[in-house]
Structures are given as structure tokens and as C-alpha cells.
Structure 1
């Protein structure tokens, strides 16, 4: 495998946990010629950008970390955002990655140079980077999604998205309107409600909110994590909990009772938390648990008991200079408008966040528009040699992102190691292998929750423009196994810079 004619053998786009995890495993495997680029000025991805009040991980910290770098000093079962940011920083320092990162570098486009068998990346500052291989680690929870509401640019007060929180703003005594009741809103609403004069929450679709088994970790618990076997047992319990609350519940909805048990727990939690029957009814989801990712909070629902908090379910007609007007003509005055409207996830322009052109100038976004979102094992797409994704279609099954990162990186390294062994400069998944995997994913989806009738009213970002849900319909154990055992014959390993002879080997 030659690296002649390129700046780096590998370029990783993204310095969040996906990029950090990929870089760590590359170094372990002896791939030292790599560069990480990111448009931010610091590492952490989601945890760099999202700093709103109350931001925290939504699964237990014991699962939301690398299996090879487990902390024993989390302050809580569900770590606050600042600790995840610090964890990212510590991983970068421990594995000596900081010198390999170029911040403030926004990739605008990546084009495959067939003559040279390399990728050429164009950046916002007009520079070019070349690499034999590209690993896309841009994530899906970094690009804010702004609502398409008439007049929103005319609002005369302060407007901010939860993922770009302006900490210079003091909300004390202010009239605040917040649009959205997804995962970010569930965390920020209980934090700001006690200090604002009035908080109006605009809800389109209620979210399933389950009790969160959260608590500060006492010194005794942290000590237990350091005892032989204690950390492994805690992680096993955590992983099992995570698996039961989403992957198994969502992907095996018709065959396992997990979701039904969760729905009963959610409704009981709602009854305990909310006093007013009308408000409780408005907060009750009309769709099955799992149609969209549920949230976990012990404070969110109870916040609607406060006299200064109003839940508004009437559709928004427009934003005015002084507030938000609903379809019924009522205007809610506001000094601050908070957009808790989530991120661009299953949308064009987000996977990846830059223009991508492969063999013959094939445009990935257009190809997906015409052929539906798909990628072999969630990692590679035919026609885009030497290009790998950490979070591609049908890669993520809903468990911890760290499990996904480790699985996908294992897949990528199998390809890179074999390419190095046979001296291949070009690695490309075959169209037949990709088609086979895509057919398998579609054939499995009948048992998922997403295809139940009630999901039609969920307004879930899981559904893409084609009506598909490109989440991997499998357990986490199966996903992990396949990442280390997929058939290498599904790839073509080509010697030289142009397609010539092909090596196939298991």
C-alpha cells in the first residue's frame, strides 16, 4: 500500500468521539500517518458544541465511554456534559493525538482522484488536503436544525439554539419561549424554569419520558469500580439496561414485551409527576415507545406543575417581533426565544457534512436520493473507494455511540490491515455485497416498532425522505460480531493506483 503523492495516508474528518476513537485504534494498529480535521476550536464534537444548562448524557456513563478507557470517577450515573468534554480531552492527551488535530478546518468537498487513487479534500480556507483513505467521523448531533417558521428572523429579542447556547445571556426574570420538546428540551426546561419569569413551552409531539435512575456516585461506589471485577460488572449491568430500553425494544417490538413494560413505566411516571389532568393528557404520547428516541428525566414532567410554566400545544402560526403567535391567534410575549429543534440527522447534507464525489464523479447525496440511504454494514458505499464512515446508514442500532464507534472502527481496520498485507492501494465494497446487505436490512424491519401504525403520528427524525428508518435492526452483540467477521471477499483490494488486479482473501 503506497502513500506516495498524498499529504497523509489517512484523514479523519471530525474530532468528536468518533474521530478520537478511530485515531486511537489506528495508532494501536500501527497506522501512524493520519490527520484529524475539525471545524471547531476544540475536541468533543457534540460535547464541545452543546453546553446548554442541564446538558448531560442520556444513558448511564458506564456505557457512554470506550471499553478500553473506562473512567472510575464519574460524578453521577448520568454524567453532565462538562465531564464528557473533559473525558474527550483526556483521551486526546493520553493517546497523544493533539498534535495530529487541525482545528478550524471546515471540509467543503472531497473528490476521488481516480488517476492517483487518492482523495482530495477542499477546505473553507481554500486549501487542499490529499489522503489515500478518508474516515468520516462527522457525527449526526452537531449541525443544528432551524425550524421553518414564518417571521422567525423578525424576532426582536434574543434567539438561540440549544446547541449554540449563549452563556452571556441572563434569563433571570425574562419571558422565555422554547420551541421543541425533544431530548435537549427535556434537559434544559427544568434547569431554566425556576429562574425565568414565564416559560412557554411549544410542543408539537409529546415525548416518552421515563424515570432516570440517576444519582451522585458516592466515594464507596467509585472505590467499588476499582475493585477487580467491579468495573466489568457495573458495565455489564449498564449495557444490559441500555440494550433493553432501546435496541431490543425498538427492533424486536413485535416479539419481545420490552416496549410494553417501558410504556407502562412511562405512563405511571407521568401520573406521579403531573398534577393537572389536562396537562397530563397533553403530555401523553399517542405513539408507541421507540418510534422516536425516548428521554429519561426525573424533573422534566414535574416542571409543568409550576405556575410560571405554560404548555402550548396549538400549532405555531408565526413568530412576531415580540413573541410567538399560534394558529388560534393567541400571541405569547417573549424576551428570549430558545430553539430546541434538534439536529439534521437523516437529512441530505448531514451524512457527511460536505460534498462527496466518488468514481466517475458520482455524487453521494444524489446517489442516496435516487437509491435510498444505504451502506454496507453502515461503513462503505460502492463507487466510493477508500472512504469509510463511522455513522453511516444501517450502522447504528440505538445503543451507546461508543459501541458503534468501536464496532465500525473494527470493520475499517480489518480492511486497512488486509490492504496493507496485500499491498493494495484501493479498497472498495462490491455492489453485490452492498445490495445483499441492504436487502437483509429491509427484510428485517417488519418486527421493528417503526412500522407500527402509531408511529405515523410520532414526527420522528428517524424516518428519512424515502420513508425508511436507516437504523440497524439488530442487537448490539450481533453488530459487534459482524464487525469482526464480515467476509473480506465483499471488498475488492486493488493493486496499483488504477484498477488492475484484484486480491480477495478472508
Structure 2
């Protein structure tokens, strides 16, 4: 990693600052460097990787197939499994950053506190938590949506005498062997961690507030001959990658509420739960539409719940006690360790970062006035020239790979920059009318989806507005982000 003086930090020719070094930040920087831009990546943590750096709980893995959960410009023929585990994904990100030159332009341990648009200079002035200043023509936020653990403020939390940890803050040195463990939550991290914890715990209690829809994952190790073919025939690997894409893209109609595909998949999933969950099936079958919350993938979750040393409790926490917890239903549960599989604050798209646009307008204030975060195509916001978001509002998916969405966004950002530079202009800003038109169309589409159902989920605000998920298939997103529409932007 280069020293700060060699990174062009004080150099007025620095083109782009990227905040965050997860998949989005690494991909953005890699393609920007390839386009000839001078780039600096600032990462608050002490290493790259984003969610794949932070989440090290037992069983942590991706629920998108490995060959589709990777960059199209950095394909890996040697994935060990259909669904890669956390260590392998983190290794892939480190290798990709090294091979694309991103590592040389990365500064870790540097958290961004404030970013201000300088109208006179047509540059973004960035201030870090330690008081350092940086400046660039363009600013990209790639901080993601799932990086702030949600820690419930349970009554009596400070009195609990055992180990308390969130899945995203896992203590790898703590030995669960023979312990009485309680896992609170049953969503994505829980269904991965619970089968592994059950293998070593003396007794495991799973505290479930409400069930989630779960389908078979179909994971397995790749055979050596498969990996050899991918190495020898890259086009075969690319073809396999595209087959995965279309397999998932065809499932989009299942997320349209009341559609024939949705009804068919709902019945198939009910049958799967009945067949795999045994006597627990009634407690594990949701009463809300399929897809209203994130659909989970697992092969070993239902078998784990049926182990002799595992209990499923369908209740909520009333309070923690010195030796365990009390449920709202009055059940006392003793515990040596309580694991919080309680998710993230996913609706805060710029945690700990204040962004100040044209005329001193704060992005947080704008979003509060709008009733929640919003951005044109999830990428651009009126009043904030030369500022772009990756994995921004309404770009999460329920049916395909977020890496595809990130690559669409990265291409869009770079084409916006290229258009500006080609015209000899200094700033680009999306029009308010374009955002309003986009939002109206999106809300019409979202109203037809399962996400608008009666369940509570991290996709929605307290008022029920869906701010996380994209409203259609990814083919439409690809089409809309092929190139910036001149009528939707002002440049000068």
C-alpha cells in the first residue's frame, strides 16, 4: 500500500474519491483505474472486504452462487463450492483488489466524517474522522446497506452475566462447546449459524418471533474436473455464470403479489417446509406472502432444529437476567451465551457521514423531508453534483445477484464522468423532475410486489414506504443504466 504522499491526496488532479472498500468500492475503483482516473479509496475499517470482513460467525456464506457473486471482469474458476463461504469470498476480494491495482490506492483506518461540495472549485472536499482533508472532482459512496448491526436495547442487558454477541461482531475466541446458547432471531445469519452452533453447544435455544420462508439451497463442493474445465475454457465459465443469472431472473414474477408464479412457488415452499420441518412445520410456516421478507436458503436449518439438543421457542424477549432471559410468555431460559442474530440498520444509507451539497443542503435533511432515502436509479440525488451512490436506495434485490446491480451502477457512473470530461464540463447533476418521475414509476411497480405486503421487514420504513428494494427485474435496471439520459441531467 502506498504512502499518503504518493496517492495524489493533495494533488488537485485527483479525479475520484470512493468511500468504502467492500464489493462496491473495490469494483468502482478497479474500473475507474482502468478508465485512467486518479482514484483514492477511503475505508473506515482496518482492512477491505465490507460485510465479508465483518461477518465471521460459524457457517457464514453467500446465498448467491459463487460464480454469479463475483465480478464479470474478475471471474474465478476455482470457487470451492456452489455457494462460497466467508473466508473464500474475502480472499477473492483481496486478490481482486491486488490484481486490479486497487490496493495501491487504498487507505484503511480512515473514516470519512464530512463531505462538502465546493461550488467555486467544482470539487468535493472530504474531511476524515482524524481531521485530514482530501479533494476530488467526483465522490462515490460505496458504504453499502448492511454494515450497522442492530443491537436491541433489551431491559436488563447490562445484568446478563454470560457472553452476549451479535453475529456481525463475532468473538472467534469464545468457545461454545458444551455451553447453553440462545440465538435470538431466525433470519439470514441465524439459519447459517444455528446448524454450526448446534453441533457443539450443550443445548441451543432458538428464539423466533415469526417464521421466514425458506427454500432448499442445493449447495455442494465443485468437482475437480469442473474447476479444470472452467480454467481451460473461460467461455464455459462465462456461459455457466449467465445460466445462473437467467435462472434467477426468471423467478422475478414470483415476487409479484397474486401472480400465478407466486402462488405456485408458495405452494412448493409450503410442501418443502412440511416435508423437512416435521412436527415443527406449523411453527415454521409464515402467514404472510412469499417474498414479503427476504427468502432464506438453507439445506441444514430444519434438520438442526430437530436435534435433541435444540429447542425452538416461538416468543419474544421480555428482559435479560443475570443467568439468561425471560420471554414475554413467561418462560425462563438459562444461557451461558446469547447470540443476537437481529440484523442491521439497513435504512441508513450513509451511517456516520454528513454529505453537504449545493447551497449547503445536507443530504440527511433532504431525505428526512422526503420521508426516507431516495435517489434517481439509486445513484444520483438533485442538489448534489458529481456525487454518486452505489447500492443506494431501492437497488437491493430479492431474486438475483447484487454484484450485477453494482456493475450496472459502476458503468453508469463512469459513463457520466466520461460524458462530462468529453464535453470539457466540470459538473453533472440529476434534475429534480427526473427523480420525481422515477419515484412515481417505482412506487407504482412496488405496490404490486410482495414487499408491499402486511409483514414487517427491513425493506420498509415505519410508514410502510419501501426504500431498499428495486421494483422490477434486473434486465430493466440494466437497460435504464446503459447510459445517462441527457434530458435527466444538467451539466456545465
Query: How would you bin the TM-score normalised by the shorter chain?
Result: over 0.9
Structure 1 counterpart of 2:159: 154
CA deviation after TM superposition for structure 1 residue 4, in Å: 9.4
CA deviation after TM superposition for structure 1 residue 228, in Å: 5.6
SS of the residue 2:199 aligns to? coil
Structure 2 counterpart of 1:287: 288
C-alpha distance in 2 between matches for 1:189 and 1:69: 33
Q: Does 1:238 align with 2:236?
A: no
SS of the residue 1:200 aligns to? strand
Mapping for residues 96-495 of structure 1, pairs under 5 Å: 96-226=101-231, 227=233, 229-245=235-251, 247-250=252-255, 252-255=256-259, 257-276=260-279, 279-347=280-348, 350-351=349-350, 353-372=352-371, 373-398=373-398, 399-451=400-452, 455-456=453-454, 458-470=455-467, 471-494=469-492
SS of the residue 1:319 aligns to? strand
CA deviations on 1:258-280 (whole Å, 9 max, x unpaired) are: 3333322322222222232xx22
SS of the residue 1:366 aligns to? helix
C-alpha distance in 1 between matches for 2:261 and 2:41: 40
CA deviation after TM superposition for structure 1 residue 225, in Å: 2.4
CA deviations on 1:243-267 (whole Å, 9 max, x unpaired) are: 244x4422x3444x33333322322
C-alpha distance in 1 between matches for 2:144 and 2:70: 16
CA deviation after TM superposition for structure 1 residue 353, in Å: 4.3
C-alpha distance in 2 between matches for 1:422 and 1:4: 26
- Normalising by structure 2, what TM-score? 0.94
C-alpha distance in 2 between matches for 1:4 and 1:92: 23
- Relative to 1, partners in 2 of residues 1:464 and 1:73: Cα closer, same or farther, differing over 3 Å? same
C-alpha distance in 1 between matches for 2:296 and 2:352: 26
SS of the residue 1:130 aligns to? strand
Contact 2:10 2:135 in 1 (8 A): no
Count of aligned pairs: 480
Structure 2 counterpart of 1:45: 50
C-alpha distance in 1 between matches for 2:254 and 2:136: 41
CA deviation after TM superposition for structure 1 residue 386, in Å: 1.1
Q: Does 1:36 align with 2:41?
A: yes
Q: Which of 76, 97, 100 is the matching residue for 1:95? A: 100
SS of the residue 1:298 aligns to? coil
Contact 1:7 1:130 in 2 (8 A): no
CA deviation after TM superposition for structure 1 residue 137, in Å: 0.4
SS of the residue 1:405 aligns to? helix
CA deviation after TM superposition for structure 1 residue 124, in Å: 1.5
CA deviations on 1:41-72 (whole Å, 9 max, x unpaired) are: 11111111111110111011121011121111
- Relative to 1, partners in 2 of residues 1:228 and 1:39: Cα closer, same or farther, differing over 3 Å? closer
Q: Does 1:62 align with 2:67?
A: yes
CA deviations on 1:330-374 (whole Å, 9 max, x unpaired) are: 211111111111111124xx3354111212221212211211332
SS of the residue 1:145 aligns to? coil
CA deviation after TM superposition for structure 1 residue 224, in Å: 3.1
CA deviations on 1:396-444 (whole Å, 9 max, x unpaired) are: 3432111011000111111100111112222111111111111111122
C-alpha distance in 2 between matches for 1:17 and 1:491: 27
C-alpha distance in 2 between matches for 1:450 and 1:82: 32
CA deviations on 1:467-487 (whole Å, 9 max, x unpaired) are: 211222121111112111341
Structure 1 counterpart of 2:4: none
C-alpha distance in 1 between matches for 2:377 and 2:244: 25
C-alpha distance in 2 between matches for 1:4 and 1:122: 13
- Normalising by structure 1, what TM-score? 0.91
Structure 2 counterpart of 1:503: none
CA deviation after TM superposition for structure 1 residue 304, in Å: 1.4
